[in-house]
Amino acid sequence: MTGDAELRLASGRRREHGPSGLSRRGFLAAMGAATGGAILAACAGEVSKVATQNASNIQLVYQDWQTEWFPAIAQKMLEDFSAAHPNIHVFFTQDPDNLAESMVADFEAGTAPDVFSGCCDFFPAWAQKGHLLDLRPFIEADLDQETINDWDPAQYQALRTHDGVQFGLPKYHGALALYYNKDMFDASKVEYPDGSWDHEDYARAMRLLAADVDNDGVNEQWGSMVDIAWERIQVHVNGFGGHFVDPENAKHSLMAEPDAMAAMTWVRDRMWEDHTMATFLDVQNLETRQAFIQQRIAMVEDGSWALKDILEGAPFRVGVTTFPAGPARKVTLATTDGFGIYAQTKHPEAAWELLKTLVSRDYGRAMARAHLLQPARASLVEEWIDIIREEYPTQSSGMDLAAFAEAHLKGQSVTAEVFANMDEARRIAKAAWERIFTLGQAPVELMKQVSSEIEQAQQVGNQEGS
């Protein structure tokens, strides 16, 4: 009821009761209503003006990998997108050098891109800090179940925080596998690995493949190599039946539990006990992929994302098989590369339209063609294999390319486990692993202290709960 109406009611009552019918209380009530009504009326109309924004000319920023080849596919895709959405102009830019940190600065400054890619442990860390838009309302309104089922459930789930915020959608499916140098295997008369391998087979082969070529008492050739990175260590722990993070409580560490300790001990022993697995010091800080391409190691734990580099760079016959099973189970790491939207974007609807294009089958195909990236959708795996065989017919012949998709199809994928305060957990673990694995200066027992410190770090700061 407006103030005017209140006033009319009051004056009507007054007439009914005669000249002295309007009491002081009635008079004050009527005046109060009139004042309130007048103020409300004065405030009205503000919302509509603020809401009226020029939606006919929206500019967005899309940020993705810093690679030489990416701008070309981005340009093609964005031109198609502009044709379909003439009112939305998207400018592509590349990831900055130190993505994880500089993005946080951009988030805080309000200058982050509207749509961007993320991965690994920092992507959920951004979400934990509230920088990413919750996509659930858009997904419910705009995505069918068939699309969702086409993604690896582990990857899809990994792009969700513990309290249910879906902060990203899968970009591509990077699956960890075991590449091997067929020439080196043949030279050492070692049977090629296959999907039946477990960690014992893996260790046995490494022993046979490691070699002190110049007989100086130090190996120059190693069986394999592990990236000392969070999820690369974690996948071994998962194979041993352990976890880094309690699946029921994101603030509870399981890093010092027996299964986790056994897995890390297994890795460390290969590096520092039997010297069959190279450390970064052994290969003069070469990346694992380069160490493999340069034939310093006979096998490498690497993903489908490395296919193009390896197929183009390896001067030897390459084989690939699924990641060896651990004593407890067979698992493979699936990357958590995805696309997200900045929570403070001025145009969430337009950003969602762009994101839908980025997770489309067409974009999956484009990335497969441009850099052999394994599509996030299971339904595109066959096409992807055909693309590889078409582009690298010789190198890929005899390669079990389907091994990359096996975990996705068989439900064996695991993704990076994330603590509530992931930034701090990563920092603490990285420092410890440097001493344990890279330098060999500390035993795996150090992880007990590390686990405790990480748990303490979870109690500090405004982080997502369990």
Partner 1 sequence: MSRLRRRVSWRGLVITIVLLITLAALGGAATFTYKAYVDASSALVIERDRELGYLSAARMREEIGKYSDILEELARSPDIYGNDLTAQRKKLLNSASRLAVFDGGVVLLGNLGSVRAVQPLRMEIIGEDWSNREYFTELFINKTAVFSDAVPDGPNGSMVVVIIVPVLNDQQEFVGGLAGMFRLGETTVSSFYASIVRLRIGQSGNTYVVDGNGQILFDSTSSKVGQSIESLKLPLDVLGGKPGAGRVRDAEGRDLVAAYSPIPGTDWTLVTEDDWATLTASIQGYGRVLLALLGVGMALPAIGVALLVRQKNAEMITKEQDLREDRVATLLHRGLLPDRPPFLAGWSLDLHHRPARVVGGDFYDFLVLPDGRLMVAVGNVTGGGVSAALVMVSARTALRGAAFRGLSPAEGLECSNELICPETKPGMTVTCTYAVLDPGTGQLQFSCAGEHGILSVGGTRLAEPMEKGPPLGEGIGARFHTAELTLSPGESVLLYSRGAFEMHSDRDESFGLHRLQAAAAEAPREAEACVAMLRGRLNDFESRAGPPSQDLTLVVLHRLAQPRPV
Phi-psi region of 44 (alpha: psi -120 to 50; beta: other; left: phi over 0): beta
Handedness of CA 179, 182, 184, 190 (dihedral sign): positive
Residue 42 engages partner 1 in binding (rule: CB under 8 A): yes
Structure tokens at 322: 């699924």
- Does residue number 68 form part of the binding site for partner 1 (CB under 8 A)? yes
Site string for partner 1, 77-116 (x = CB under 8 A): -xx--x------xxxxxx-xx--------x---xxxxx--
**Angstrom distance (rounded) from CA 210 to CA 206:** 6
Stretch that binds partner 1, among 43-51, 147-155, 190-198, 420-428 (CB under 8 A): 43-51
Rule CB under 8 A: is residue 286 a binding residue for partner 1? no
- Cβ distance to partner 1 smaller for residue 53 or 379: 53
Residue 74 within binding range of partner 1, rule CB under 8 A = yes
Residues 5, 9, 41, 281: which binds partner 1 (CB under 8 A)? 41
Query: Which pair of tokens denotes residue 56?
Result: 């006919």
Residues with Cβ within 8 Å of residue 210, at least 6 apart in sequence? 219, 221, 222, 223, 274, 275, 276
Sign of CA dihedral 235, 337, 169, 132: positive
Instruction: Assign residue 329 a region (left: φ > 0; alpha: ψ between -120 and 50; beta: otherwise).
Output: beta
- Residue with Cβ nearer partner 1 (86 or 164): 86
Closest approach of partner 1 to the CB of residue 109, in Å: 8
Give the x/- contact pattern for partner 1 in 17-36, rule: CB under 8 A: -xxx-x----x---x--xx-
Cβ nearer to partner 1, comparing 59 with 157: 59
Q: Are strands 299-303 and 58-64 parallel, antiparallel or unpaired?
A: unpaired
Nearer to partner 1, 73 or 381 (CB): 73
Q: Tell me 408's DSSP state.
A: H
Judged by CB under 8 A, does residue 350 bind partner 1?
A: no
Residue 46 is a binding residue for partner 1 (CB under 8 A): yes
Pairing of strands 176-181, 58-64: unpaired
CB–CB of 184/193 below 8 Å?
no
Binding residues for partner 1, per CB under 8 A?
18-20, 22, 27, 31, 34-35, 38-39, 41-43, 46, 49-50, 52-54, 57, 59-63, 66-68, 70-71, 74-75, 78-79, 82, 89-94, 96-97, 106, 110-114, 346
